[in-house]
Amino acid sequence: MLVKSKPSLRHRFYLFEILTGLSITMKNFFFGRKVTIQFPEERRIYSSRFRGLHYIKAVNGVENCTACMLCPTVCPSECIHIEAGERADKEKYPVTFEIDILRCCYCGYCEEACPKDAIKLSAIYEMARLTRADGVLDKENLLVQRGKK
Amino acid sequence: MSGQDIFFYVFSALAVAFSLLVVLGKNPIYSALSLVMVFFCVAANFVLLQAQFIATIQVLVYAGAIMVLFIFVIMLLNADAQSADLGKRRPFQAIAAVLCVALFALFAWSVKNGTTSPERAGFTPEKVASLGGNTQVLSELMFSDYILPFELTSLLLLVGIAGSVAIAKRKLEGARAESPKEGQA
Amino acid sequence: MDRIELIWMGVKIGAVVFTMLSSVPVMVWVERRGSALMQNRLGPNRVGPLGILQAPVDVVKLLFKEDFIPAHVEKVIFVLAPAVLLIPAFMTFAVVPFAGDIAIDGKALHAQIADLDVGILYVLAISSLGVYGIIMAGWASNNKYSMIGSLRSSAQMISYELSLGLSVLGMIMMAESIHLRDIVAAQSGHIFGFLPRWGVFTQPIGFIVFLTASFAETNRLPFDLPEGESEIVAGYHTEYGAMKFALFFMAEYMNMLVASALISTLFFGGFQLLPGMGRLIDPTGALIAKFFTAGNPADWGRLALEAVSFSIKVGFFMWFFVWVRWTLPRFRYDQLMNLGWKVLFPLSLANLVVTAALMYLRVI
């Protein structure tokens, strides 16, 4: 519905309204709370449910992962690549574990699917890399314990 | 040759060069811009004659306002090099050349034999300066001795404005009559 | 012209050109930080203290960028256009007086580059030429957005030039002179015993019209129709890059500077001392006398303080341009034309008539 209301004389005179506007901008200039986050020094605090860069949880230097392949199965963007192997104690383990973070959509299904609580999404959100090849995280990189979760 | 003479020759040469560009240029925009430069050079010559007021008005009115409108029109009509080539223009060129030569002869004759040169009318640069500068002298003359021609000129301009508004308005109404569905759209 | 006059001329031109050029990076910084703070952001604050070196760094970037000329443009005019826009902005400042007179060896020296016989008419004449730069840029770019931008801009500048000129006439009539120094001198003294006799108090309507028209003349918000990201990209400078774009940018700030200087000169007493600065003359003069002696030290003190108060006034209006830009939304094109022709133009004419009538009746 189109409602047409005639502005008051004060509005149409315009100058007082301009002065009001100018005083508002000036108030913000001096007293407004500045919302800028000074990035490298200050960081935005995200909620604890934020899904960032992956890592594989390790206990006593041994990864929890048993290479059950549930995470590459569930992964919608098919960015997880695992080759399974066998340890000396007959335990199954991932020989290679690669995640292409350029393909990853950070849905977190891998974390949900993991029965061993091994693959995790940390709170880290700086993903910039110099080359595409750097965007593929290998096992060594994934074993860096990034998270608080 | 004094500095003033050098400036005079430089600006005059530029004025002639640019006016040739106006006439001979293929692209109407270049012609119009050259004409602006001609006005500029003429204004500079006025300054050399201590007639700053005329120079300023030349720049303000001709270069600053009228030529802008010219360029506007040229741009909006999108007149390119082809449309300037009107075909049968030989006779016009001949007539124009004859008229120009006649006009030049008239100017030359009047400069040589005219009676209104500034020295003879008593307006030397020194005297003008002592009367309070040429803006003041000009305005006093314009609003006292020459008030009638001045007012007649402004009347003429007013008639011109009224005429152009009338023509534009008729066209506007004609356009409205041709598009009857405007109200519903 | 003797030696002192030549030196004085050199000093004046050097000071004015240096100030005009160096004001551009400073204003860019002020505009960016100011706009940020008004919008509750911080703005550039990394390069140098408070980010003040951001603008010089940007200048270096613009200077070293590739000077690219698109293939479809009209080359000669395309290259000329930025200069045509910038030069009038520089030329206009020649007649603006930035301090009072000073006497050395019995010669009165003016702190004004050229005391032309035509005074303010020169300013109007030269500033009306700036429109060519915009028209040339728009046409030479051979791009419909540029073309529309430049047409809008020139229509806007022509429309507001009328109100601009007419609003000045009131001040000219009250000063009974078109020389800017006389107009400044006519604003000395007080009215009602306490208000300075500045144009803003004696010609308030003229001031408002002039202020509004100068916003339109400088193509600044709320009248920045020649540019508009959502409709015509960057308007007349869409096709420009590197230093040629920077020249357009500089021209905008130069025009702002000239407009601010004119507003201060015509309506805020020009170089006249701000209230309360009179008692500083002698100490400043004594300070200057320590460095060199020529003429009367108190005169030098007055001159310095006058230049300072002129700079403060101009600086305020430069800030005002920024302030308004980040406060008001932009006008639509028809609103702009309506305001110019149906409000400001009749208003300035009425102001002229009323001023003339009051002067005839000897009320003012």
| Residues of chain A contacting residue C343, judged by C-beta atoms under 8 Å apart | none
Please indicate, yes or no, if residue C162 is contained in any of the structural domains. Answer: yes
Please indicate, yes or no, if residue C61 is contained in any of the structural domains. Answer: no
Choice between C196 and C123, residue whose per-residue pLDDT is larger: C123
Interface with chain B: mutation pick from C79, C91, C117, highest number of B CBs within 10 Å: C117
Domain positions in chain A are 54-142
Nearest by Cα to A21 from B4, C38, B149, C278: C38
Nearest by Cα to A117 from A70, A51, A48: A70
C265 forms beta bridges with none
Subunit contact C151:B72, Cβ cutoff 8 A: yes
Q: Is the pLDDT of residue B74 over 60?
A: yes
Residue located via tokens 């290998």 = A138
Q: Is the pLDDT of residue C6 over 50?
A: yes
Q: Which pLDDT belongs to residue A76?
A: 93
CB C145 within 8 A of CB C233: yes
User: Distance between CA atoms of C52 and C1, rounded to whole angstroms?
Assistant: 41
Residue located via tokens 């320590």 = C290
Residue B184 confidence class, pLDDT cut points 50, 70, 90:
very low
Q: Which pLDDT belongs to residue B102?
A: 94
C70 CB neighbour count, 10 Å cutoff? 14
Please indicate, yes or no, if residue C63 is contained in any of the structural domains. Answer: no
- A99-139 per-position pLDDT tens digit: 998 899 999 899 899 898 888 888 888 888 899 888 888 88
| Exposure class string for A96-112: b at 16+ Cβ within 10 A, else e | ebbbebeebebeebbbe
Mean pLDDT to the nearest integer, C181-210: 81
Q: Which pLDDT belongs to residue B80?
A: 57
Q: Which pLDDT belongs to residue B17?
A: 92
Q: Which pLDDT belongs to residue C157?
A: 83
Beta strands in chain C (DSSP E): 99-104, 107-111, 190-191, 195-196
Q: Is the pLDDT of residue B85 over 60?
A: no
| Integer angstrom CA distances of residue C14 from A88, A137, B117 | 85, 61, 40
Residue A50 confidence class, pLDDT cut points 50, 70, 90:
confident
Choice between B131 and C135, residue whose per-residue pLDDT is larger: C135
CB C244 within 8 A of CB C82: yes
Q: Which pLDDT belongs to residue B105?
A: 93
Nearest by Cα to C12 from C75, C85, C102: C102
Q: Look over chain B and give the mean of its residue pLDDT values, rounded to a whole number.
A: 79
Q: Look over chain C and give the mean of its residue pLDDT values, rounded to a whole number.
A: 83
- C59-71 per-position pLDDT tens digit: 888 888 888 888 8
Q: Which pLDDT belongs to residue C295?
A: 64
CATH architecture, range A54-142? 2-Layer Sandwich (3.30)
- C261-270 per-position pLDDT tens digit: 889 888 888 7
The token pair that represents B86 in the structure block: 């009107």
The set of residues, in sequence order, having a beta carbon less than 8 Å from that of C62 and lying 6+ positions away, is: C242, C243, C245, C246
For residue C114, how many C-alpha atoms fall within 13 Å in the half-sphere facing its CB? 13
Q: What ipTM was assigned to the predicted interfaces of this complex? A: 0.77
Interior CA angle at C71 toward C68 and C76, to 5°? 75
Q: Which fold has domain B1-84?
A: Four Helix Bundle (Hemerythrin (Met), subunit A) (1.20.120)
Mean pLDDT to the nearest integer, A45-66: 85
Q: Which pLDDT belongs to residue B159?
A: 94
CB A110 within 8 A of CB A56: no
Q: Is the pLDDT of residue B13 over 80?
A: yes
How many angstroms from the chain centroid is the CA of residue B167? Answer: 24
| Residues of chain B contacting residue C151, judged by C-beta atoms under 8 Å apart | 72, 75-76
Q: What percent of chain A has pLDDT over 90?
A: 7
Q: Which pLDDT belongs to residue B183?
A: 44
| Residues of chain B contacting residue C119, judged by C-beta atoms under 8 Å apart | 135
Mean pLDDT to the nearest integer, C22-26: 86
Q: Which pLDDT belongs to residue B99?
A: 93
Residue B70 confidence class, pLDDT cut points 50, 70, 90:
confident
Q: State which H helix or E strand residue C338 sits in.
A: helix C333-338
Domain positions in chain B are 1-84
Q: Which pLDDT belongs to residue B4?
A: 81
- B93-129 per-position pLDDT tens digit: 788 889 989 999 998 888 787 666 555 566 666 776 7
Chains that touch B (3 or more CB pairs under 8 A): C
C118 to chain B, minimum CA–CA distance in Å? 6
B131 to chain C, minimum CA–CA distance in Å? 12
Mean pLDDT to the nearest integer, B15-25: 87
Within the 100-139 window of chain B, which residues sit less than 8 Å (CB to CB) from chain C? Answer: 133-135
